[in-house]
Amino acid sequence: MPMAANPLGGGSFGEALAKHGLQLTREETRVLQVNVGLACDLSCRHCHLEAGPQRVEMMDRDTMDAVIDCARRFRFQSIDLTGGAPELVPDLDRLVRSLAPLTDRLMVRTNLVALNSGEGSALCELYRELGVALVASLPASNAAQTEAQRGEGVWGRSVDALKRLNTLGYGMPDSPLRLDLVSNPSGAFLPPPQQQAEQKFRSDLSRRHGISFNSLYTFANVPLGRFRSFLERSGNLEGYLAQLADGFNPCSVAGLMCRYQLSVDWRGRLFDCDFHLAQGGWYGGEETHISTLAELPAPGTMIPTADHCFACTVGAGFT
């Protein structure tokens, strides 16, 4: 069945799906991804949300309450807190404490640097107390590529934060406290195969810094926001988009995260994923607040697509 008019205008991705006899439809919703705001202490050059220190958009207490209420109503297997830098949002500790008992797995995405502040340090203790899983951004196992993407001085502060997390038990063998790393390439090229990259990260971080972690995930950069601006400025946009489309892997579609999750922004508005959130493509085609969500999307419901979806289906895919 061909897709209806696409609010995001993603014809070519739709064509790629159709060419392989595929549709992008929802499965049972298991994950609630909560983007608590765009404030961040870094201005990473690949950020699809253009988060940074100048951004003031942050989730308020009322919206947090609506998120907590939603989590109580639907009991998601996993709740994924992201930003921006979640650590900068006032009352994040209250949100974390409230959500932890309402899900099997609460995870927080961190840029690592934000954990070095006083508030960040206190949050680390809270995360440990509640068994919160941490997913830390680290583009490379070397300073040059890390700082090219994330800013000067970030490498040392990231290493310090990882060492402290290890001290707390995160990412250590035989510890239940999970520390996973996420690596996005520091430029207009695709990420290395995940297994190879994980071996290299493990070897480099262990040998040079004594750092331990659980798993590494590699993801392609999404051509939105600040990364798209870089692609345009550097003359890489056309080539990068072609590379994403050429690398379309039909086997990745079944596991795409958008099939299993709902995404909510700092105002409580719903999206299919964080990338549609960045582009302003509503869940269900119209603005919907999480407080009014009466039921989870039915399996089989079509998911709107856009050209940036190619970033999730290249190589091993974004799952």
Q: Of 43, 77, 145, 236, which lies in the binding site for other proteins, with binding defined by CB under 8 A?
A: 145
Contact 265, 35 (CB under 8 A): yes
In the block, residue with structure tokens 């549709």: 23
Contact 290, 61 (CB under 8 A): no
Q: How far is the CB of 93 from other proteins (least distance, A)?
A: 36
The residue (of 7 and 151) whose beta carbon lies closer to other proteins is: 151
Instruction: Name residues contacting other proteins, limited to 171-190 (CB under 8 A).
Output: 185, 187, 189-190
CA distance 105 to 172: 18
Q: How far is the CB of 156 from other proteins (least distance, A)?
A: 17
Q: How far is the CB of 201 from other proteins (least distance, A)?
A: 8
Task: State the alpha helices, DSSP H only, in 131-224.
Answer: 143-150, 154-167, 194-209
CA distance 265 to 154: 26
CA distance 208 to 68: 41
Binding mask 192-231 for other proteins (x = CB under 8 A): xx--xx--x-------------------------------
Site for other proteins contains 151 (CB under 8 A): no
What is the token pair recorded at 45?
Answer: 């050059």
Number of residues that bind other proteins (CB under 8 A): 14
The residue (of 117 and 194) whose beta carbon lies closer to other proteins is: 194
Give, for 216, the enclosing helix (H) or strand (E): strand 216-218
| CA angle at 281 for the pair 276 and 284, rounded to the nearest 5° | 110
Q: How far is the CB of 29 from other proteins (least distance, A)?
A: 34
In 10 A of CB 317, how many CB atoms?
Answer: 21
Q: How far is the CB of 49 from other proteins (least distance, A)?
A: 24
What is the token pair recorded at 260?
Answer: 């299993």
The residue (of 44 and 216) whose beta carbon lies closer to other proteins is: 216
Q: Of 191, 268, 304, 317, which lies in the binding site for other proteins, with binding defined by CB under 8 A?
A: 191
Q: How far is the CB of 47 from other proteins (least distance, A)?
A: 20
The residue (of 200 and 209) whose beta carbon lies closer to other proteins is: 200
Phi-psi region of 169 (alpha: psi -120 to 50; beta: other; left: phi over 0): left
Give, for 182, the enclosing helix (H) or strand (E): strand 179-183
Instruction: Name residues contacting other proteins, limited to 82-141 (CB under 8 A).
Output: 140
Sign of the alpha-carbon dihedral angle for 78, 84, 89, 93: positive
The residue (of 137 and 305) whose beta carbon lies closer to other proteins is: 137
The residue (of 15 and 238) whose beta carbon lies closer to other proteins is: 238
Q: Of 144, 251, 254, 298, which lies in the binding site for other proteins, with binding defined by CB under 8 A?
A: 144
Q: How far is the CB of 224 from other proteins (least distance, A)?
A: 21
Contact 73, 295 (CB under 8 A): no
Could you list the residues that contact other proteins (CB under 8 A)? Answer: 140, 142, 144-145, 185, 187, 189-193, 196-197, 200
